[in-house]
Amino acid sequence: MSTPARPLRVALDVSATRLGSAGVARTIVQLGDALDARTDVDVIRLGLGTPPKSGSAARRALALRLDLEWYPHGVRREAAARGADVLHLPLPRGPLSPGSPPTIITVHDLAVVRYPETLSGWNRHYSQRTLRRVLTAADAIVAVSDDTAADLAAFAPALSDRVHVIPNGVEEFWSVPAEAPDVAAPYVLAVGTPEPRKNLARLVQAMQRRQTAGAPEQLVLVGADGWGADEFPTVPWLHRLGRVDDRTLRSLYQHAAAVVVPSLHEGSGLPVLEAFAAGAPVAAAKVGALPETAGDAAILFDPLDIRALAAAIDEAIVDRDRLIPLGHAHAKAATWSAAAERYVALYNSLH
């Protein structure tokens, strides 16, 4: 009798979860959970540790240590020492030269190439110096959207044969009914780390237009640990909640009059999928991968046009009965189990 093949040992770097809980950090956790649910994969999490306090010297030191030592050198050493068959780095940070075990890099967007002014100084400087080397050293590159794959093809055409498109998923968690949040309704919700690329200043101006026109909805902003965020007016209709736990966020999604994603660029758009799953109508910028993620289930607008942004929010609220079922259908098709299936196939192709 033949011995059953052992599960594939996949080293998954989760160090980014020590620096934040949104965006890429959230996708790392959710992909890891989907891989854990399989019997053919043994997930070895690398880079675990206690998150330093936001804004602290310890947090800044950790970010530097990860960029200067862990990603270029330590993560591969640790993966090899733990007997990993494949190393998966779920953001474009990693070894600067080929080696063993084989490495997969996930690229969520190429904002550092297309919109470098929207990144913090260190992130921009480090990424511009290392990105091409990291991609060249990787055995496979995953783009989370066709839009990001096209950006990669333009940036590094010689590496196109290594690029595989595997969209992010969304958890069923967001569709579980939640109690109303402790926020006065009605409100429009925006979710994301406050930074220039999120275009929140124009969103606030659009909401001011709506307030002037008599619209009843307030604006709720969720997200923390940003940089270079705009100063917003102190007005009774604007509420900045900072970071909230997932249960609170689910409640905010489900009871929002609309969710708006006004970003200047996104390589995927996780809040769009979360809002779809939660049953909220969505207005999203028609840039980057947002139209690809939203399909026909959201109202799209030019993020540079404040008048168009305000009108799109109005339309999403009025058209909610049509948009919500379309959004649910998109969310049901975008599962993390499906993403994990494609990642495992890629892992096996390298082992």
Residue 278 lies in a domain: yes
Same domain, 146 and 190: no
Residue 55 lies in a domain: yes
Same domain, 128 and 212: no
The dihedral through the CA atoms of 287, 291, 296, 299 has a sign that is negative
Q: HSE-up of 176 (CA within 13 Å, CB side)?
A: 9
Residue 2 lies in a domain: no
Q: What CATH number has the domain bearing residue 287?
A: 3.40.50.2000
Q: Is the pLDDT of residue 31 over 60?
A: yes
Tens digit of pLDDT for each residue in 187-246?
999 998 888 889 999 999 999 999 999 999 999 999 876 655 567 888 999 999 988 999
Tens digit of pLDDT for each residue in 298-319?
999 999 999 999 999 999 999 9
Same domain, 257 and 277: yes
Same domain, 252 and 104: no
Of 109-118, 124-133, 139-148, least confident by mean pLDDT is 109-118
**Global pTM value:** 0.91
Q: Is the pLDDT of residue 3 over 60?
A: no
Q: Which domain holds residue 27?
A: 8-169+335-350
pLDDT at 239: 94
Contacts of 188 (CB under 8 A, 6+ apart): 207, 217, 218, 219, 220, 256, 257, 258, 259, 260, 313, 317
Residue 1 lies in a domain: no
* DSSP characters over 276-331: HHHT--EEEESSTTHHHHHTTSSEEE-TT-HHHHHHHHHHHHHTHHHHHHHHHHHH
Tens digit of pLDDT for each residue in 274-287?
999 999 999 999 99
Residue 264 lies in a domain: yes
Of 120-124, 246-250, 313-317, least confident by mean pLDDT is 120-124
Residue 181 lies in a domain: yes
pLDDT at 1: 42
Between CA 89 and CA 97, with CA 94 as vertex, the angle to 5 degrees is 130
- As for how many domains the chain has, the answer is 2
pLDDT at 214: 96
Same domain, 215 and 237: yes
Same domain, 251 and 142: no
Q: Is the pLDDT of residue 329 over 60?
A: yes
Same domain, 206 and 98: no
Give the residue from 144, 121, 188 showing the smallest Cα distance to 23: 144
Same domain, 83 and 225: no
Same domain, 144 and 210: no
Of 1-10, 25-34, 130-139, 314-323, least confident by mean pLDDT is 1-10
Residue 104 lies in a domain: yes
pLDDT at 254: 97
pLDDT at 226: 60
pLDDT at 54: 79
Same domain, 202 and 98: no
